[in-house]
Amino acid sequence: MEKGFIGIDLGTSSAKIALVSENKKLLDVKYKSYGLKIGDNGLVEQNPEDWFKAINEGIHEIIENNSKIDVRGIGLTGQWSGTVPVDKDGNNLHDAIIWMDTRGKKIIEKVTGGFPSISKYRIDKLIKWLRKTGGAPAHSGKDSIAHILFLKDEMHEIYDKTYKFLEPKDYIAMKLTGKFKASWDNIVLLWVTDNRDPNNIKYDDELIKMVGIDKNKLPEIIKPTDIVGLLKKEISKDLNLPDNVPVVSGCGDMHSSLIGAGLVNDFESLLYLGTSSWITAHVPFKKTDIFHNIASIPAGIPGKFLVAAEQENACNCMEFISNMLGIDQEKYKKIDEMAMRSNAGSNNLIFLPWVFGERAPVEDPYIRGGFFNLSLIHSDEDMIRSVMEGVAFNSKWLLSAVEKFIGRRINSIIMSGGGALSDIRVKIFSNVLGRDIFVIDRPRDSGVKGAALLAAVGTGNMEIKDLAGIGKPYKEFKFNIEENKKYERIYKEFLNFYKNNKKSMHILNS
């Protein structure tokens, strides 16, 4: 009987559940969607029970379709920088406050601020954070620590009743096993862990006191490759799985996307294009760039760091604009066809992708998106292509900061994520960046595949070195020099728009 490993990827809009064979082949994937609640003053929440229901349905279907596979482990990945307060029985006390929520912004400004300061951080506090963690709480209020402090300040009854604050992925692990544990990569955005030794991440009492939270409400820290526990008997019975199936903690989606693309060696760079987007790579050093909000943090592979450089808005921009234009039937096929009917540069129409603020290469919750240089000559096709180009311009801005951070030019880029399924989007990215791009096999599923393979590693069935190159065969896109020259001219104006209008956007949105 062939061995198999289940991966669970808890995304922002849907859960992916995959089955990967012992030969590292993706056998089956299921996608289950759920809702998102966006409200006033930066509220963005989800119902954790919807997550678990979606995952339960997906695993049921996977098992029914692959009854001859011997499941030897379950691994987890997904959105991070989210917070679920739970009681001792594992019941959620409030909806999950997810990574887009900014309600804790003012509280974080108080916690991090003071005189004398640099970049709005009191210097002595900043030194402690940088030395121990490699970063500091984001002023946007989108980090997990901001969510917890918001609950403490605004919903103190929930804070007082909370037994543990869990990241989304770790909440799912708890539901499956009954154990309250967190992988050290996920917990990093609490900014209370000492990350100097990538093999020994631990809570730091000085940092915990500095942010003002109760250490007893934090889960036990384990490695991403550690086993959280075995499936609870009632869960295994419901899913028709043995009750001795181990659940491996896994890591955040940024970390897992690298592993699922087969990029396990230092400086192998990935551009992930999904709801949000990131450029990342494993690196052998701990470092921070506070001016571009980039840091190297503990990786999903024990003993390594990875570059965390995430732009807030990517494919969500296309979803937003295509809905505004009333494109719903065969949406993705139609928007690709529309983009191809416009030209490189979209007749000088520039789209600004900051529809929900930005995280990197500038941390700025007040900037906003829109079309710049719009005129009566522009068509729907120009608008659609401009959205693709605007996201790519922001990635070019981010790429320049990442290259300075790692101290080397990234000559070619590996790409994954749902956005990489669109040839026209990848061609635009290649021409805007001036880089050849290699799209991995099954790009939409790199994260969930990485979760399943970490389960194989955590259960002793594979080693990390066995995962190198599993993203092949690649689909190659070479950049066009002439189109790159056109985009260089427009890119300069993209940057100028931010510089010239940043103050106005702050006045309007702060």
Per-residue pLDDT at 273:
97
The pair phi, psi for residue 257, each rounded to 5°, is -65, -35
β 412-416/270-273 pair status? parallel
58-74 per-position pLDDT tens digit: 999 999 999 889 999 99
Q: What is the 3-state secondary structure (H, E, C) of 14-53?
A: EEEEEEEECCCCEEEEEEEECCCEECHHHCEEECHHHHHH
| CATH superfamily assigned to domain 3-254 | ATPase, nucleotide binding domain (3.30.420.40)
Fold assignment, 312-412+423-434+480-509: Nucleotidyltransferase; domain 5 (3.30.420)
pLDDT tens for each residue of the chain, 510 residues long: 899 999 999 999 899 999 999 999 999 999 999 999 999 999 999 999 999 999 999 999 999 999 889 999 999 999 999 999 999 999 999 999 999 999 999 999 999 999 999 888 999 999 999 999 988 998 889 999 999 999 999 999 999 999 999 999 999 999 999 999 999 998 999 999 999 999 999 999 999 999 999 999 999 999 999 999 999 999 999 988 988 999 999 999 999 999 999 999 999 999 999 989 999 999 999 998 988 989 999 999 999 999 999 999 999 999 999 999 999 888 999 999 999 999 999 999 999 999 989 989 998 989 999 999 999 999 999 999 999 999 999 999 999 999 999 999 999 899 999 999 999 999 999 999 999 999 999 999 999 999 999 999 999 999 999 999 999 999 999 999 999 999 999 999 999 999 999 999 999 998
Confidence (pLDDT) at 134: 87
Domain with CATH 3.30.420.40 in the chain: 3-254, 312-412+423-434+480-509
Of 114, 238, 115, which Cα lies nearest the Cα of 176?
Answer: 238
pLDDT at 67: 85
Instruction: Give the span between the Cα atoms of 207 and 133, in whole angstroms.
Output: 9
Q: Do the strands 44-46 and 37-38 form a parallel or antiparallel pair, or are they unpaired?
A: antiparallel
Would you state the pLDDT for residue 242? Answer: 87
